[in-house]
Structure 1
Amino acid sequence: MESFISAENTNQPNPTPFPLFPPGIPIPPTARENAVTATAAKIPTPFLLIPKPEPVEECSTPIPIPTATATANNEDIKPIFHSGPHRETLTAPTPPSATSSDQNDSENALYDEFNRVSQLFRMAFGPGMQQLEASPQNEFSNDTVLDPNSGAIVPVPPPQQHGGYGNGNDAGGGEGSSSNGGNMSLAKRSIRSKDLVRVKDLTIKDMRHFREVVRRTRMIYDSLRVLATAEEERKLMMADWKKARGDLRASNLMKTCGLWLNRDKRIVGAIPGVCIGDVFLYRMELCIVGLHGQTQAGIDYLPASLSSNGEPIATSVIVSGGYEDDMDEGDVIIYSGHGGQDKHYKQVFHQKLEGGNLALERSMYYGIEVRVIRGLQCEGTVNATGKVYVYDGLYRIIDCWFDVGKSGFGVYKYKLFRIDGQPKMGSAVLKEAGMLKRDPLCFKPMCCLSLDISQRREPVGVRLFNDIDKNRDPLCYEYLPKTNFPAFVFHQTGNGTGCQCVNGCFEGCFCVMKNGGEFAYNQSGILLRGKPVIFECGPFCRCSPNCQNRVTQKGLKSRLEVFRSRETGWGVRSLDLIQAGAFICEYTGVVVTRQQAQILTMNGDALIYPNRFTDRWAEWGDVSLINPSYVRPSFPSIPPLDFALDVSRMRNVACYMSHSSSPNVLVQFVLYDHNNLMFPHLMLFAMETIPPMRELSLDYGVTDEWTGKLAICN
Structure 2
Amino acid sequence: MQATNAVLYPEKRIGHLPGVDVGVQFYSRAEMVVLGIHGHWMKGIDYMSSKYEDKTGYQGLTFPLATSIVMSGVYEDDFDKADEIIYTGEGGNNFLGNSHQKTNQTLVGGNLALKNSKDNGNPIRVIRGHKDKDSYTGKVYTYDGLYKVVDCLSEKGVRGHFVFKFKLKRLEGQLPLTTSQVLFKRGDVHMPISELPGLVCRDISYGQENLPIPATNLIDNPPVPPFGFVYSKTLQIPEYIKIPADSIGCNCKGDCSTSKHCLCADRNGSDLPYVSRQRKVSAKHATCKKIGRLVEPKAVVFECGANCSCYCNCVNRTSQQGLQYRLEVFKTELKGWGVRTWDTILPGALICEYTGVLRRNEEVECLMDNKYIFDIDCLQTIKGLDGRKQRPGSELHMTSLQDEHDSEACQAPEYCIDAGSVGNIARFINHSCQPNLFIQCVLSSHRDIKLAKIMLFAADTIPPLQELSYDYGYCLDSIIGADGNAVKLACHCGASNCRKWLY
Identify the TM-score tier after normalising by the shorter chain: 0.5 to 0.7
SS of 1:521's equivalent? strand
Judging changes above 3 Å, is the alpha-carbon distance between structure 1 residues 474 and 368 closer, same or farther for their aligned structure 2 residues?
closer
Matched, 1:537 2:304: yes
- The residue number in structure 1 matching 2:324 is 557
- Unpaired stretches in structure 1, ≥5 consecutive residues: 1-186, 196-265, 616-630
The amino acid across from 2:457 in the alignment is F
CA distance in 2 between counterparts of 1:711 and 1:678 reads: 29
Aligned-pair CA distance for 1:652: 1.9
What is the CA distance between 1:586 and its match in structure 2?
0.8
Could you tell me which residue of structure 2 aligns to residue 576 of structure 1? 342
Shift of 1:505: 1.6
Unpaired runs of 5+ residues, structure 2, are 279-291, 382-389, 402-410, 481-485, 490-501
| Structure number, greater radius of gyration | 1
Distance 1:693 1:355, change over 3 A: closer
1:598 paired residue number: 362
CA offset digits 1:391-450 (Å, max 9, x no partner): 454243866999999899xx9x654220365588765622399898524375446xx2x4
Which of 438, 446, 451 matches 1:679?
451
* Secondary structure of 2:167 counterpart: strand
- C-alpha displacement of 1:312: 6.2
Q: In the alignment, what sits opposite 2:202?
A: 451
| TM-score using structure 1 length | 0.48
3-state SS of paired residue (1:552): helix
**Residue number among 192, 195, 209 corresponding to 1:438 in the alignment:** 192
Map residues 465-480 of structure 1 onto 2, 5 A cutoff.
465=216, 468=220, 475-480=227-232
Among 424, 428, 435, the alignment partner of 1:652 is 424
Rate the CA distance shift 1:345–1:662 in 2: closer, same or farther, 3 A. closer
Q: TM-score, normalised by structure 2?
A: 0.65
2:128 aligned residue: 374
Residue 345 of structure 1: how far off its partner (Å): 11
| Aligned-pair CA distance for 1:317 | 2.1
Change (3 A) 1:363 1:644: same
SS at 1:429 equivalent: coil
Q: 1:334 aligns to what?
A: 88
Q: Deviations over 1:74-133 (max 9, x none)?
A: xxxxxxxxxxxxxxxxxxxxxxxxxxxxxxxxxxxxxxxxxxxxxxxxxxxxxxxxxxxx
Structure-2 change in CA distance of 1:501 and 1:300 (3 Å): farther
Q: Deviations over 1:652-690 (max 9, x none)?
A: 221232333233332122223333333321111233454
Q: CA deviation at 1:503?
A: 4.9
**192 and 602 in structure 1: CA distance in 2 versus 1, 3 angstrom threshold:** closer
Q: Does structure 2 conserve the Cα–Cα contact (< 8 Å) formed by 1:468 and 1:566?
A: no
Question: Where does residue 14 of structure 1 map in the other structure?
Answer: none
Aligned partner of 1:611 among 359, 365, 377: 377
- 2:333 and 2:112 map into 1 onto residues whose CA distance is 46
Name 2:392's counterpart in structure 1: 633
**Counterparts of 1:529 and 1:287 in 2: how far apart (Å)?**
31
Match of 1:419 in 2: 169
Q: Is the 8 A contact 2:437 2:459 kept in 1?
A: yes
The alpha carbon displacement at 1:354 in A equals: 9.0
Matching residue of 2:68: 316
Local SS of the residue matching 1:500: coil
Find out whether 1:547 has 2:314 as its counterpart.
Answer: yes
Structure 1 position 515 matched with structure 2 position 268: yes
Tell me the equivalent position of 1:490: 244
Matched-pair contact (CA < 8 Å) for 1:501–1:509: no
1:203 corresponding residue in structure 2: none
Match of 1:394 among 132, 147, 157: 147
Residues 338-353 of structure 1: matches in 2 within 5 Å?
Answer: none
CA distance in structure 2 between the partners assigned to 1:451 and 1:343 by the alignment: 34
Give the letter for the 2:135 counterpart.
N
Q: Which moved more, 1:419-428 or 1:676-685?
A: 419-428
Assess, with a 3 A threshold, how the Cα gap between structure 1 residues 269 and 454 changes in structure 2: closer, same or farther.
same
Contact 2:123 2:148 in 1 (8 A): yes
Cα distance in 2, alignment partners of residues 368 and 345 from structure 1: 29
Does the CA contact (< 8 Å) of 1:507 and 1:519 recur in 2?
no
Alpha-carbon spacing, 1:637–1:334, altered in 2? closer, same or farther (3 Å):
same
* Aligned positions of 1:58-207 closer than 5 A: 190-193=6-9, 195=11
**C-alpha separation between the residues in 1 aligned to 2:191 and 2:430?**
23
Equivalent position of 2:494 in the other structure: none
**Structure 2 vs 1, CA of residues 399 and 305 (structure 1 numbering), >3 Å: closer, same or farther?**
same
Aligned match of 1:481 = 233
1:502 to partner: Cα distance:
1.8
Q: How many residues align?
A: 426
Q: Deviations over 1:458-499 (max 9, x none)?
A: 2223344556268979544332312345764433x2x23225
Correspondence for 2:14 among 268, 272, 289: 268
Native 8 Å contact 1:462 1:562 kept in 2? yes
Q: Is the CA contact (8 Å cut-off) linking 1:665 and 1:684 kept in structure 2?
A: yes
CA distance in 1, matches of 2:10, 2:300: 48
Residue 292 (1) aligns with residue 38 (2): yes
Q: 1:701 aligns with which of 470, 473, 482?
A: 473
Q: How far apart are the structure 2 equivalents of 1:689 and 1:696? A: 11
Aligned CA RMSD, in angstroms, stands at 5.1
Change (3 A) 1:442 1:429: closer
Q: Where is the strand percentage greater, Structure 1 or Structure 2? A: 2
Moved more, 340-349 or 521-530: 340-349
